[in-house]
Amino acid sequence: MPVHAAGHGEHLNLWFRKVYAAYSVNNGKADLRRYVSKADLRKNARRMRNGPGRNHCMGARVEISKGFLPNSFDRVLLDAPCSALGLRPRLFAGENP
């Protein structure tokens, strides 16, 4: 049964068996890369092509873009600044982040 089709308990059981095998063969040093099949690696690589960046796309149109021809980009990567919402309690308390 493929790992992705297994239920949650079956998936954990398979994972624990791999960890036990890795520890017993490598004298307590886990090397799980040896126990993942090439087919599983390829399958995971295919799934990663549609990773979080592509799953959370937002569309927008720009009418005027100086210096660039229309449709000259397929995608634009935006590395937006952090909103610091996670640090807000510290900021109000006067602590340094």
Query: Can you read off the two tokens belonging to residue 96?
Result: 């340094």
Binding site, residues? Answer: 79
Q: Is 68 helix (H, G, I), strand (E, B) or coil?
A: coil
CB within 8 Å of 30: residues ≥ 6 apart = 19, 22, 23
What tokens does 17 get? 């068996």
Instruction: Detail the residues annotated as belonging to a binding site for S-adenosyl-L-methionine.
Output: 79
Judge contact between 4 and 43, C-beta under 8 A: yes
Upper half-sphere CA count for residue 37 (Cβ side, 13 Å): 5
